[in-house]
Structures are given as structure tokens and as C-alpha cells.
Amino acid sequence: MATSSTLDVRLKQRAVIEFLTLEKATPIDIHRRMKIVYGETCVDVSTVRRWSKELAGTSPTEADLHDKARCGRPNTVNDIQHQERVDEIVQANRRIKVREISEMLGISTGSAQFIIHDVLGYRKLCARWVPHMLSPELKLNRSRVSQELLARYTDEGEAFLRRIVTGDETWVHHYDPENKKQSKEYRHIGSPCRKKFKVVPSAKKVLMTVFWDCDGLVHIEFLKKT
């Protein structure tokens, strides 16, 4: 629901548009000049075009800058009472859906979403996924090991890092077919074009273990069949 201060700003901007339109300024130029003054509260360029068109053939003494009265039910669902009620519902159930809130309060889903996101500033986010749930003992052990490694690096410097070897495992295909980019070769304009048929990767895989240090690969090992 628009506040009185918002309506005052819009009325002032309409007066500016009327003045600049009578000076034969284009809507693009009007919007650019207003953007410098009003910043984020400036209306968009489509609104400037619409108001400029409405005020172009009107005398300054006859122009009406106020909104015309419109029929229909007034917008009262965004008042303080509805905002407080929505806030209570969301805090009671953080996973509740917008549709459920609209049904509980008897308002539209658009109004409920406006209150939740724009007025109250809520965002529905997923929980952060972590691979393992660490107990306090495991966290303490990781902190202790990290401090020991940092102390060794402080004492030994780069020599300590060069002795570190790490590894990882991954599944690899028995063979990987050559892709289209790898088949590039130099040819003359009149040379016949080679054909390359699509080949799928091998269905069979093998577990590969890789170890490396700061200088590169140290060892690669494939899991043998048992």
C-alpha cells in the first residue's frame, strides 16, 4: 500500500514531467535527468512515456497530476495487522507455503507473497549441505591437527609443504573416445572432409587412485579385479 510520502514523490515527479514535456524534451531525456535527482525512487522510463503522452496536449492550467479515483475494493491486506499476523505464522512454521498463508488469512497469494518477501524481508532458503555431521570431539580434533600443521609450517617453512603427499580416488572409463575438437587437422580448402562417427565411452569403469605433491603426480594405481 502506497504511503503518503510515496504519493508526494510521485506527484512531484509528474510535475517535473509536465514541465519538461512542455519544453519539448523527449521521455528518454526526461527519465535520464530525473534519475540523477531522484535516484532509486525515480519512476521507470515506461511510466515517463505514459505520463508525457497524457500531458503533451494538456494546458498547464488544466493538467490534473493526481490519481483518479478507481472503483473496487481498497487495498487493505498490507496493513500492520496483516503484516504482524503473517510474521507470527512464518515464525511458528518456517516451512509453510505462501498458499497456506493466503488461505489462513483469506487474502490472495500475491498479497501474501508481497508481505513475506517485500515487507517482512523473508527468503526461503535450503539448509546448507555438509558431507559429514561432526561431533564436538571431531571438531576439537580437527582444530588441534590444524594448529599442529600450522606450527610445523611456521618452524620448517616451504620444506614442510614439499614433503606433503595427498591422494584421491575416481572412477574412470576403460577408454574415452576422441571428441570432435581433438580430430582437428590441417587441410587445404579443396581437401575432402573426413567423417567421424559418434562413439560412446566405455561402459566398464575402473577405480583409479592418484597421489601427488607440489611438483606433480607421484603415483597412479588402478584397482585390480578380485
What confidence tens digit (pLDDT) does each residue in 9-52 have?
Answer: 777 888 888 888 888 889 889 888 888 888 888 888 888 888 88
Predicted local distance difference test score (pLDDT) of residue 1: 45
Decide if pLDDT at 8 tops 60: yes
pLDDT at 175 over 90: no
Higher per-residue confidence, 62 vs 155:
155
pLDDT tier, 5 (very low <50, low <70, confident <90, very high otherwise): low
Cα dist. 106→5, 49, 64, 111, 219 in Å? 29, 37, 36, 10, 67
Q: How far is CA 42 from CA 35, 36, 45, 151, in A?
A: 6, 9, 9, 57
* Average confidence (pLDDT) over 186-204: 75
Residue with cell 580430430: 183
pLDDT bin (cut points 50, 70, 90) of residue 176 is confident
Q: What percent of the chain has pLDDT over 70?
A: 84
The sign one gets for the Cα dihedral 165, 168, 169, 174 is negative
In whole angstroms, give the CA distance from residue 113 to residue 115. 5
* Total-model pTM: 0.35
| pLDDT above 60 (res 164) | yes
pLDDT value of residue 195 = 76
152 class by beta-carbon count within 10 Å (0-12 exposed, 13-18 middle, 19+ buried): middle
In the three-class reduction of DSSP (H, G, I as helix; E, B as strand; rest coil), residue 153 is classed as: helix
